[in-house]
Each structure stands twice: as structure tokens, then as C-alpha cells.
Structure 1
Amino acid sequence: MSAIDSPAAGFWSYTHRDNDIEGGRIQRLALKIANEFEVITAEELGVFLDKNDVKWGHEWRERIDNALTSATFFMPVITPRFFKSEECRREVLMFSGHAASLGLEELLLPILYIDVPSIRSGESSDEVVSLISKRQYEDWTKLRLEDEDGPVYRKAVHRLAVRLVEILDRASKVALPQVAETDAVDSDEEPGTLELMAEAEAALPRWGTVMAAFASTIKEIGEMTRSAASEMERSDARGGGFAGRLRLTRQLAEAMRGPVDHLGELGLQYSAELITIDPAILGIIRQVESEGSTESDSVRDFFVTIRDFAKQGRVNSVSFREFMESVDSISGLSKAMRPLTRKMQGAVQKILDGQSILDEWDRRIDEVQGMEG
């Protein structure tokens, strides 16, 4: 098909457990769509299914780094288990940021395979769920129950393959956005590289403040938990039994409510701002790469700041993961604790998701600087 300037490829993201439970139907669906695409266009649609395959990772990096996203689909297969996979979440955030920086959001094409109510309602504090719900996803919740060789299923495969062709045709006509080479003075002009770097630099202290408050709140919750554990030991020694433990657990849940709500607010604030500015940062890196201007003082300082922040985030992530593990241990103490533990886990997951964005900036900067080293 002439509208497709480079070989089209589809990267499928799903949990292996879902595919196993489905008897391999998810992988077969990908291959059926690729075959139908080829029948329609007389061109192959490269299908990348196994993320453990070296070729998957190599092609993924090549296409993202070289702005070949205009011929690259990312197709997450959405199930409740999908959102519990850090790898799947990271892939959605990474592709979404790169696609948005190129004006090619349509190439993120989710398939709703098992119903997730928050996807349909569009109401969720989970940033990955929110990203998916805003896309024009393909609803496969009923089709997955159809006979794979039956007419209903085959027509649905054909319809999806046609949609891929149409999306690629539109994507091939999108002019890739460029960061202006000069600083904008007039309000009608697009911001230049320096304006965008200044905006990002101004955001970094805010993110740092949020991270410090997040760590402080986690410490506060940890101290509450340890204090309650000591109280339980003393209660046991006095013969308080399970009734005494239950009373103390309920007191702990009540005391934790405020800090846990604060933790949730901090996680939401942090992830929302990172996701918003992600396309701009990736655009800056791409612009610097194309201009070969990594040696300018402003660019060098900006890159150092970003990379230092990413490094510190990785250090923090270790303790946050340990906190998540400790939260698991208290979730079963009482039903009063369950809503709180879910909220804490959700808040920490937002920070970990945000770290995947920082790590992608760090990786791209490392590649750009390496090209000129």
C-alpha cells in the first residue's frame, strides 16, 4: 500500500498467563489480524509477540528511537491482570509518550479483551487505565467467545485489519511536530527548545518536593504500623487475644486514614504531571539529537539535571517497593485495612510508573550523548 512509507509492525502487549488461560487465542488473534492485513494490502504486517525474544526488544527500541512510530502499532490486550503487570504498564506509558510527542496517538490501539468496568466508565485514578480509556479501543469482550473460524469472528478480524490500514494511511500524512529552533517571543509562536527546557526545569523542584513528602508520609505510616505491632504484643502478653488485636487494628486503620489519603494525592499529582510533560521532554531530546547540539551549556546542564533526578528516583523506588511488600503483610489483618492497603499500593504504583518515564528519558539522553561521544 503506497501510503505506508515503511514496513508496518504491530507490537502486542499482554500477560502470558491470560494467553495460557485462553489456550493461545490471544497470540492466534494477532496472527489472524496480520494475515488479514496482508490479504488486504499485499504487504506484511510484522507481528511481535514474545517480549522475551531479543528481536522484540531490538525492533521496539529501533522504531521508537528513530521516530518510525508512524508505521508502528502498539496493541495492548486489556484484561484485569494486564494492569497488575509492571512491564505492561511501563510499555503503555512509554509508547504513549513517544506517540504523543509525534502527534500519532492513534497508533496506540488497545483491545478490550476482558471487561474492565473502569475502562468503560472512564473514571479511574489509575493513570494507565485512564490512558487506555481515552483511546478508541476495540471491544473484544464478546468476540473472544466466538468460534475462531466462524463468520462472526472472521468478520471482526477483517474489520480490525481494515481499521489498521486506515490508521496507517492517516498516520503517513501526519507532519511530525518539530520543536522550534529559536526561542518564542510572540505568544502565537510555538515554544522553543529553551522554553521547554525551562518549563521542565521548573517542574523538577515540584517533583522533588512531592517525592520528599511521599517518602515522609511512608515513614509516618511505617512508624504507625510498628507502634501498633508493639501494642499488639503487649496486648497478647496481657491475654487480650484476638479481640485485643482487632481493636488495635481498627485504631490503626483510623489513624492511618489521613496519611493514606495524603499519599494517594501525592501519587496522583506526581504521575499526572509527569505524563503531561513526557511528550515535551521526548520532543526536546529528539530535537537536540537532530541538531547535534548536546555540547551547549544549557542542553548539557538540562540533561545532567534530568539524569540525576532519574538516578535518585531509582534509589527511592527500592524503598518504595519494600514498603509495598510490607503493606501486603497487613492487608489481611482486618477488613478495615483493605481499602487503605489498596490505596497505598495504588499510590506507590503511580510513583513506580513515573519512574519508568524518567528511566526512558535517561535512556534516550544516554543514547543521544553516546552518538556524539
Structure 2
Amino acid sequence: MATSSGAAGFWSYTHRDDEIEDGRIRRLANKIANEFEVITAEELHVFLDKEDIKWGDEWRNRIDTALTGSTFFMPIVTPRFFKSEECRREVLTFSGHAASLGLDELLLPIMYIDVPGLHKSDTSDDVMTLIAKRQYENWTELRLEDENSPKYRQAVHRLATRLVEILERAAEVEPPPVNLAEDVNAEEEPGMLELMAEAESALPRWGEVMSEFAITIQEIGEAAREASADMEKSDARGAGFAGRLRAARQLSEQIKEPVERMSELGVQYSMELVKVDPGILGILRQVESEGAETYESEQATEFFKAIRDFAQIGRRNMVSFQEFSDSLQRVSGLSKSMRPLTKKMRGAIQKVMDGQAIMDEWERRIDEVTG
């Protein structure tokens, strides 16, 4: 049975990818674990099934208390991976904790199937950016090899050896200083209260972005309802599909500007949260280490409350944002002029959902710290 002691590897993949591959993804995890054990004479605990309660319990335990230098997170990267809310949330959660400890190498992606967007220097997908910045293992050709071939076995050995080397380096890494500001003088590093105040002051700014995002969605929704009414009137006049197409094209022209604004807001929101995530987690880790006197102080209490409130507001917004995202399926079929716009809107909503995943993790860690 796996425990929180010793090295562990959490595999993040979609079950459908593994089904299509006839179980090769799961078998690869076990082959790497076995090779690791042969090399080190120590077990690498592998967690594969996210539906197993032990996966979730051990994930939270290691994220909170035992991440330092002993826990790998290995996303199996495919086009379907980036469409999975659960997989995206796991990448964001782990990468923030790893970065806050100076242990970025513990996020070790395996490029299983090529994802073209991953190689774009200007990608606005925060999860793709996090994956692309890592030195991932390229398995795109190896997945086509016989699992018992020398080439495949040698690749498994190289990857297991790399895990051993990462663990050895990680043992010597000291957590970086907690720092949210970009222009802080190294000789005048802010104290805990300054860091909490700085993080807290950012919440209203993020709230304004969310409010503007919601207003923009409402604006687009109203335009879509007007277009729908125009189509009904067109049908009543017997204008047929030509009338519907005209209304759809008018709609696409009308919402181009708000869609662009919506996209920019989504990028602004998620990228900033990803950027400050390690700092916030570092603050929480430091507060936890300093004990009750710190986390029961007035400043800490206000800081925790501000983050909890913001996370809860975000979750309420997510309901309407998700409903809007679901409705885009109908809109995208109106005309080809709507397809790029609906794709951009879906992308913007995804970025906001990524940001919410980060906020939810902050709130969870606060609950752990204040227990």
C-alpha cells in the first residue's frame, strides 16, 4: 500500500486516451516505476486512478506536507488532456506548489501525442504555457514502438534514471523567498504583513476584471437574443435560410469587439493568478510554519477572509459562465462567421475557470492552515 513516505508519481491522463491506447498509458507508468525500483532498490509509489479515494487523499497530503523533493506529477499530454477540466486543474495546482518550493522539475510532462498549439510562442493558454516551459519527455514516436522492443525499454530506463537525478537535485533545493512584487529591493524584502497586504490589495483589481467579464458576457448574450428574435421575424416573413444567415452575419459583426474584450480579460485574469500563485502559496506555507500566533492575528484573519470571499464569488460566477459556454454550441452552428468567435469565447471562459481553480486551491490551503 502506498503511503506519504518515499517517492511517488501521480499520473494525470484522460481515461479515454488510455482506452484508445489499449491500456498502454497505465502500463507505461508501471514500467517506469518498476525500472525506478530496479535502479534504486526503493519503491516509486504510482497513483493512477483518480477515481480511487486513495489518489485524492494522497494527492492532498503530499501537496500540503510532503511535496518537497519526493513527489512527481507527470501529465500525459495529448490534445484531449487540455480539454479536461480535471487535468487542467491538477497542472495548475501542482505547478503553483512546486514553484513556491523551487521544485519546478517535479512537474515532468510526457508528450504522448503532439499538440500543435503547445509549440506556439504566443499561446495564451496558461496550462499549455506551464507545460511548454518544462523539459518534457517526448514519447510521440515511442508510443508506436513495441513495448518489449529494445528502443522502448531503453527509453523507459532513461526516464526512470531522470527521475532519480531529479530527486537527488531536489534534496538540495531550498524554498525561494516569498515575493509577490517585481521591484522589491533585495535588501528590503517585505515581511509577512506586507506580503499579505499586497496580495489582499490585488483582490479588488481581479474583482473588477471579473465584473467587466460578466458585463461583456451579458452584452454578447443580449446581442444573441436580438439576433434570435430577428430570425423569428425573418421566418415569419418567409425569408427562409437566407434571412437567418443575414441575421447570423450581423450578429458576428456586432459581437466582434466584445468578444475580443472578453478574450483579453480572460488572459489578463488567469495569467496574473498563475503568476502570483507560488507567492500566495508561499505566504500560506510560511504562516502555517509560524503557528497559531501568526494565523490567528488580525491581519491574517482579514487576509484569509478576503481570499475566501473572492473564491466564493468566483464560484457563483462560474455557474452563469458555464451556462453561457454551453449555449455557444447552438450559436456556433449559425454560420461559419460565428465559429472563430465562439472558439475565442470558449477559450476566454476556460481561462477564467483556470483562475478559479487557483483560487479554490488557496481557499483549501487556508482551511488546512487554520484547521
Q: If the TM-score is normalised by the length of the shorter chain, which range does it land in?
A: over 0.9
Is the 1:179–1:192 contact (alpha carbons within 8 Å) kept by the matching residues of 2?
A: no
List gaps (5 residues or longer) in structure 1. Answer: none
In the alignment, does 2:336 pair up with 1:329? no
Q: Distance in 2 between matches of 1:47 and 1:189?
A: 43
The match for 2:200 is 201
The match for 1:161 is 160
Q: Distance in 1 between matches of 2:272 and 2:119?
A: 24
Is the 1:113–1:139 contact (alpha carbons within 8 Å) kept by the matching residues of 2?
A: yes
The match for 1:339 is 340
- 1:186–1:161 CA distance, 2 compared to 1 (3 A): closer
| Structure 2 counterpart SS, 1:277 | helix
Range that drifts further, 28-37 or 120-129: 120-129
| Structure 2 counterpart SS, 1:188 | helix
Is the 1:11–1:47 contact (alpha carbons within 8 Å) kept by the matching residues of 2?
A: yes
Q: Distance in 1 between matches of 2:261 and 2:54?
A: 43
Measured after TM superposition, the shift of residue 110 of structure 1 is 0.3
Q: Distance in 2 between matches of 1:332 and 1:157?
A: 45
Q: Report the residue type matching 2:56 in the other structure.
A: G
- 1:61–1:250 CA distance, 2 compared to 1 (3 A): same
| Structure 2 counterpart SS, 1:73 | strand
Q: Distance in 2 between matches of 1:269 and 1:313?
A: 15
Q: Report the residue type matching 1:55 in the other structure.
A: K
In the alignment, does 2:135 pair up with 1:136? yes
The match for 2:355 is 354
CA deviations on 1:166-195 (whole Å, 9 max, x unpaired) are: 011100110123549xxxx96424332122
Alignment of 1:148-227 (within 5 A): 148-177=147-176, 179=178, 187-227=186-226
In the alignment, does 2:245 pair up with 1:246? yes
- TM-score of the aligned structures, taking structure 1 as reference length: 0.95
Q: Distance in 1 between matches of 2:234 and 2:164?
A: 68
The match for 2:308 is 307
Structure 1 residue ranges (4+ consecutive) displaced by more than 6 angstroms after TM superposition = none
| Structure 1 counterpart SS, 2:80 | helix
Is the 1:122–1:134 contact (alpha carbons within 8 Å) kept by the matching residues of 2?
A: no
List gaps (5 residues or longer) in structure 2. Answer: none
- TM-score of the aligned structures, taking structure 2 as reference length: 0.95
Q: Distance in 2 between matches of 1:69 and 1:47?
A: 17
The match for 1:28 is 27
- 1:179–1:251 CA distance, 2 compared to 1 (3 A): closer
Q: Report the residue type matching 1:91 in the other structure.
A: E
Range that drifts further, 345-354 or 61-70: 61-70
Is the 1:122–1:133 contact (alpha carbons within 8 Å) kept by the matching residues of 2?
A: no
Q: Distance in 1 between matches of 2:52 and 2:177?
A: 33
Q: Report the residue type matching 1:291 in the other structure.
A: E
- 1:179–1:336 CA distance, 2 compared to 1 (3 A): closer
Measured after TM superposition, the shift of residue 6 of structure 1 is 5.0
Q: Distance in 1 between matches of 2:118 and 2:314?
A: 29
Q: Report the residue type matching 1:169 in the other structure.
A: E
Q: Distance in 1 between matches of 2:82 and 2:349?
A: 14
Measured after TM superposition, the shift of residue 124 of structure 1 is 1.1
CA deviations on 1:254-311 (whole Å, 9 max, x unpaired) are: 1110000000000000001100111111111111111111111111100000100001
Is the 1:102–1:177 contact (alpha carbons within 8 Å) kept by the matching residues of 2?
A: yes
Measured after TM superposition, the shift of residue 102 of structure 1 is 0.4
Alignment of 1:56-67 (within 5 A): 56-67=55-66
| Structure 1 counterpart SS, 2:187 | coil
